[in-house]
């Protein structure tokens, strides 16, 4: 099994651990007390473990992303993804853009953006953190499961001398920056969705709007 795929597997384990710890903090029964939203369970140890799991996942996904970029820049054509989307003749800018040229790399970029945004979100979610971060971990878990099945680190039986190259339709400066901007938006949508689910679960409608 390729090292990059192992990193993604460990990232999935970390996000499942984080999600389980956040789940242990949730009390859905009687979410309101005295007409006011109930405060989160005061268990600093569980919060610390939950955040640590998420931080570990973010580090592992970042490491997998750095590894894929290294494989692309160093022309490791024994990796199927590198072979399919890059070549030795590509300029550096287009070579970097091959990271998100294929489906597998796009999903990895998406997972990376969710992980990085989630690091900030854990500091700002406040009373919604437990439920909202559980939702984020579930979403991230789906992406990581997909990446294990359709890994960008799969190897070819033989090492080609050169890659197939980037689709000529994608060799345009606007196509270099358009997909990352798009995926930033896709990843960012996860967090208001998670907050909305948390507000519904806790029936804290006014606090969510504020």
Question: Using CA atoms, how far apart are residues 128 and 122, in angstroms rounded to an integer?
Answer: 10
Read off the pLDDT of each residue in 104-109 and give the average, rounded to a whole number. Answer: 97
**Residue 98 near residue 152, CB atoms below 8 Å:** no
Predicted pLDDT at 200 = 87
Mean pLDDT within 175-201? 92
Average pLDDT over residues 62-89: 96
Q: Which residue has the higher pLDDT, 203 or 189?
A: 189
Would you say residue 1 has pLDDT above 80? Answer: no
User: Residue 127 — very low, low, confident or very high, per pLDDT cuts 50/70/90?
Assistant: confident
pTM of the model: 0.89
Specify the range with the lowest mean pLDDT, choosing from 24-38, 147-161, 182-196. 24-38
**Sequence spans of domains, the chain:** 3-209
Task: Over range 76-92, report the average pLDDT.
Answer: 95
User: What's the maximum distance between 2 C-alpha atoms anywhere in the chain?
Assistant: 71
DSSP state for residue 36 in the 8-state scheme: E
- In this prediction, residue 39 carries a pLDDT of 54
Question: What is the token pair recorded at 44?
Answer: 């600093």
Q: How confident is the model at residue 175 (pLDDT cuts 50, 70, 90)?
A: confident
**Sign, Cα dihedral of 71, 75, 78, 81:** positive
Mapping DSSP to helix (H, G, I), strand (E, B) and coil, where does residue 79 land?
strand
Both tokens of 172, joined, read 């345009």
Alpha-carbon Rg for the chain, nearest whole angstrom, is 20
State the average pLDDT for the chain. Answer: 89
Share of the chain above pLDDT 70, in %: 89
Return the higher-pLDDT residue of 126 and 32: 126
Does residue 141 register a pLDDT over 60? Answer: yes
- 3-class DSSP assignment, residue 39: coil
Residues 2-60: tens digit of each pLDDT: 899 999 999 999 999 999 999 988 854 345 555 555 555 667 788 999 999 999 999 99
Q: What pLDDT is attached to residue 28?
A: 45
The pLDDT value given to residue 201: 83
Q: Please provide residue 171's backbone torsions phi and psi, each rounded to the nearest 5 degrees.
A: -85, 70
């Amino acid at each position: 099994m390729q090292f990059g795929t192992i990193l993604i597997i460990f990232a999935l384990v970390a996000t499942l651990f984080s999600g389980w710890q956040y789940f242990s903090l949730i009390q859905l029964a009687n979410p309101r007390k005295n007409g006011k939203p109930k405060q989160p369970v005061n268990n600093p140890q569980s919060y610390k473990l939950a955040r640590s799991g998420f931080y570990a996942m973010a580090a592992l996904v970042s490491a997998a992303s750095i590894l894929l970029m290294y494989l692309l820049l160093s022309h490791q054509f024994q990796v199927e993804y590198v072979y399919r989307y890059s070549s030795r003749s590509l300029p550096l800018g287009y070579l970097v853009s091959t990271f998100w040229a294929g489906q597998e790399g796009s999903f990895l970029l998406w997972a990376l953006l969710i992980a990085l945004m989630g690091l900030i979100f854990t500091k700002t979610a406040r009373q919604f953190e437990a439920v909202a971060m559980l939702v984020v971990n579930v979403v991230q878990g789906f992406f990581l499961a997909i990446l294990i099945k359709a890994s960008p680190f799969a190897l070819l039986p033989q090492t080609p001398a050169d890659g197939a190259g980037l689709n000529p339709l994608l060799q345009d400066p606007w196509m270099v920056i358009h997909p990352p901007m798009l995926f930033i938006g896709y990843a960012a949508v996860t967090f208001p969705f998670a907050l909305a689910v948390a507000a519904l679960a806790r029936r804290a409608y006014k606090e969510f709007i504020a």
